[in-house]
Structure 1
Amino acid sequence: MRPEPGQVLHFSEDPTIERFVPHVAPTSALREPYVWAVGHERCPDYWFPRACPRAMAWAGPRTTEEDMTRIIGSGCGERVHAIEYGWLKALMDVRLYAYRLPADVFEPIGDPPSALVAKVPVSPLGPPEPVSDLFELHEEAGIQLRVLANLWPFWKEVTASTLEFSGIRLRNARR
């Protein structure tokens, strides 16, 4: 599930949203209200239940072959996502929807940019689309999906490496 040209996506478990209104996310350090979305490259970060903690790593321009082999694996693609066993059933059962939104009202946020934001209300371009099997999406995108007892050892390895990385909802991971 990726956006078409001129679009960005917002993933949600709520299929009833008719209009996205800027708001301050409760977990955000930013105090300005935004509507959040993602472009083509960051969509896989959201192929999960909303509250699911996930650690993600991928090859970047400064990634060493040693880190690729050690963390991702030789011949295993260039990206890996990891969740905990406690979230496996939720990943299998979640009903996730993608909202297609007009890209022209969004601007990148973060350094480097990891998301797109709009400062004005945004109406979807059509009804929400059910997102298909999340395991299948990962497979089709060539992304490894690992299930671990605990994310923190993996996260520690990833953040100390030369790989690019992102962690979402890590506050929900086991301690």
Structure 2
Amino acid sequence: MRPAPGEVLHFSEDPTITRFEPHVAATARQPEAYVWAVDLARSPDYWFPRQCPRAMTWVEPTTSAEDRAWLGAERVHAVEFRWLRRMQTARLYAYRFDARPFRPFGEPPNAHVATEPVEPLGPPEAVGDLVALHEDAGIELRLTATLWPFWRRVVASTLGFSGIRLRNALPEPS
């Protein structure tokens, strides 16, 4: 599930949204109200149930041979075992938007934001099997007892990485 050229996507487990209003997310690090969306490159970051903690990493042009060998794949998404059943049963939907009201957010951009209300281009589309999406995209999905050993290794590496909803992960082992 990826946006077409000139589009961005918003993923949700709620298929009833008809208008997206800018808001300040509870976890926001900035005070501005936004409607959030993602582009083609960042769409796979959201092929998860909303609250699922995930650690994602990928090979960059500057990734060392050692880190490339450790990762063993071009891109890996890691989740805790306890989220597998939810990944297999979640009903996720993608809302398509015209990209024009949105601007890149972050450096490098990791999302797109709009400051005005936006309406989807049509009804939401069921995303389907989240595990199969990863497989079809060539993204290795790894299951871990806890994300923290994997996350610590990734953030200390030369790999690209992103973590979402890490506050929902099991506590870091002592």
In the aligned structure 2, how far is the partner of 1:110 from the partner of 1:61?
Answer: 20
1:93 alignment partner in structure 2: 89
TM-score (norm 1): 0.96
Query: How far did 1:127 drift?
Result: 0.1
Q: Tell me what 1:115 maps to.
A: 111
Deviations 1:78-118 (A, max 9, x none): 10000001111111110000000010111111111100000
C-alpha displacement of 1:32? 0.1
Q: Distance in 1 between matches of 2:41 and 2:108?
A: 13
Is 1:157–2:156 an aligned residue pair?
Answer: no
For 2:53 and 2:125, the matched residues in 1 are separated by 23
Are 1:4 and 2:7 an aligned pair?
no
Task: Give the drift of 1:36.
Answer: 0.1
**Which position in structure 1 is the counterpart of 2:13?**
13
- Runs of 4 or more, structure 1, over 3 Å off, are none
State the percentage of identical aligned residues: 64
Q: Distance in 2 between matches of 1:134 and 1:125?
A: 23
Q: Which residue, out of 141, 155, 164, partners 1:145?
A: 141
Question: What is the total number of aligned residue pairs between the two structures?
Answer: 171
Q: Deviations over 1:117-168 (max 9, x none)?
A: 0001000000000001111110111000001000000000000000000000
* Stretches of structure 2 lacking an aligned partner (at least 5 in a row): none
Aligned to 1:169: 165
User: What's 2:27 paired with?
Assistant: 27
1:49 aligns with 2:49: yes
RMSD: 0.6
Q: TM-score, normalised by structure 2?
A: 0.97
Q: C-alpha separation between the residues in 1 aligned to 2:153 and 2:108?
A: 21
1:20-51 CA-to-partner distances (Å, cap 9, x unmatched) read: 00000000111100000000000000000000
| Aligned equivalents of 2:101, 2:62: Cα separation in 1 | 32
Choose the corresponding residue for 1:104, options 100, 106, 110: 100
Deviation at 1:61, TM superposition (A): 2.3
Separation of aligned partners in 1, 2:50 and 2:86: 10
Q: Distance in 2 between matches of 1:36 and 1:65?
A: 35
Q: Which residue identity is paired with 1:156? A: R
Tell me the secondary structure at the aligned position of residue 113 of structure 1.
coil
Distance 1:79 1:65 in 2: 15
